Amino acid sequence: MTEENNRQSPESVDRPTKILKLSTSDEQDSERTTRMAQNPKGIQRYLVAIEYIGTKFSGAQQQAPHCRTVVGVLQSAFHKFIGQPVSIFCSSRTDAGVHALSNVCHVDVERISKRKPGEVLPPHEPSVVKKAVNHFLQRNEGDIMITDVRCVAADFHARYKAQERTYFYRLLSGPESLSTFEKDRAWHVPEELDLSAMQKACKVLEGLHDFSSFRASGCQAKSPIRNLDELNVIEVCPSPYFPSTKERETQNLMGESCGNSNQNKTEWSIGESSLGFGMRRRHRCFVVTARARSFLYHQVRFLVGAIKSVGTGDLTVSDVERILEAKSVTANGPMAPACGLYLAHVKYDLP
């Protein structure tokens, strides 16, 4: 179960004999069958990595017909590629407005000859699938793309085989209004953020805990116990990043880049000391990283909400300890908005 997906029942690990959408009962029967079967000729299960900007999506999971979803757009592109409907299952069902640097899904494809209807052909190579489906995706909004494709066994499930998930959350701190380039890509916090205090709050929340205070009321997970393998916050270069005049001069002299020069940290945040007309003052950019096998519904966003409040001084580290021990979401404050959340990576044990 993942950060954005615990309101709904889990997808079944199905592999239909033909590429058709199945009912829930059919999916459960198919799951038991496919665990004992190998991929038959012509049908291949592909593991597909995707990236997307979540702003214009109503979420990853298929919903009502009029809702634009990640799964819906992908299924449409695959349909145009192979001429048949397919069912796609995601590792993490992100909510509306949440982005993905790398979400993963699986799909079963039966390759049927277009010249001789009914003739089953050998499966497509992964590179062919990637190129062809991306062609149709780019005819859409251009806000989703396949980044990798791999052939996997018939019983490999993108969600249940996942060993670990990593989320990033971006916060931009500073009184300046948010840049057009950052719209819906980060949480803008006008106040200054205390990095040291936020890091201390992360240490309190890291590890094995009852996270009842950090899950939404609609969460259907059986247990609120989760093990946060990693929870930290660091300050990074603002993005998109363009060097100031002073930074260009410094780097030309010293050969230093943004990534290895500590003395430029202040410049990332405030820009040049004397800004010319039309030049923007930069925000400070902070990234919270949360890594675990699975997350409760909205857990990461509740964690970030508390961490941010410590950074602004609205909460103390002791307050965070109290909220955690309360084991009730009513003890917590509001969660962070969806726009700053990114599913960064889903880890598998692949050959």
Are 24-152 and 164-238+283-347 equal in CATH topology? yes
Contact of 217 with 204, CB cutoff 8 Å: no
Q: pLDDT tens for residues 63-86?
A: 878 899 999 999 999 999 999 999
Q: pLDDT tens for residues 308-345?
A: 999 999 999 999 999 999 999 999 999 999 999 999 99
Residue 21 pLDDT > 50 = no
Residue 151 makes CB contacts below 8 A (sequence gap 6+) with 44, 45, 46, 47, 123, 126
Q: pLDDT tens for residues 107-154?
A: 999 998 888 888 898 999 999 999 999 999 998 889 999 999 999 999
Angle at 57 between CA 54 and CA 58, to 5 degrees: 120
Pairing of strands 164-173, 341-347: antiparallel
Tell me if residue 349 falls in helix, strand or coil: coil
Q: How far apart are CA 112 and CA 123, in angstroms?
A: 9
Domain map (residue ranges) of the chain: 24-152, 164-238+283-347
Average pLDDT of the chain to the nearest whole number = 85
> What pLDDT is stored for residue 275 in this prediction?
72
pLDDT-derived band at 30, boundaries 50, 70, 90: very low
> What pLDDT is stored for residue 42 in this prediction?
67
> What pLDDT is stored for residue 163 in this prediction?
97
Residue range 96-117: mean pLDDT, rounded: 93
Cα pseudo-dihedral 125, 127, 128, 134, rounded to 10 = 140
Domain range 24-152, its CATH number among 3.30.70.580, 3.40.50.1370, 3.40.605.10, 3.40.50.12500:
3.30.70.580
Residue range 37-45: mean pLDDT, rounded: 68
Give the count of beta carbons closer than 10 Å to the beta carbon of residue 178.
16
Whether 95 is catalytic is yes
Q: pLDDT tens for residues 237-278?
A: 888 878 777 778 887 776 554 444 444 444 444 444 567 788
> What pLDDT is stored for residue 242 in this prediction?
80
Q: State the catalytic residue, choosing from 14, 26, 95, 229.
A: 95
Which is higher by pLDDT, 215 or 253? 215
* 164-238+283-347 CATH: 3.30.70.660
Q: 78: closest CA among 106, 101, 113?
A: 106
Q: 212: closest CA among 59, 72, 6, 26?
A: 6
Strand segments, DSSP code E, in 198-283 are: 207-210, 225-228, 230-236
Contact of 283 with 176, CB cutoff 8 Å: yes
> Position 200: which residue type?
K
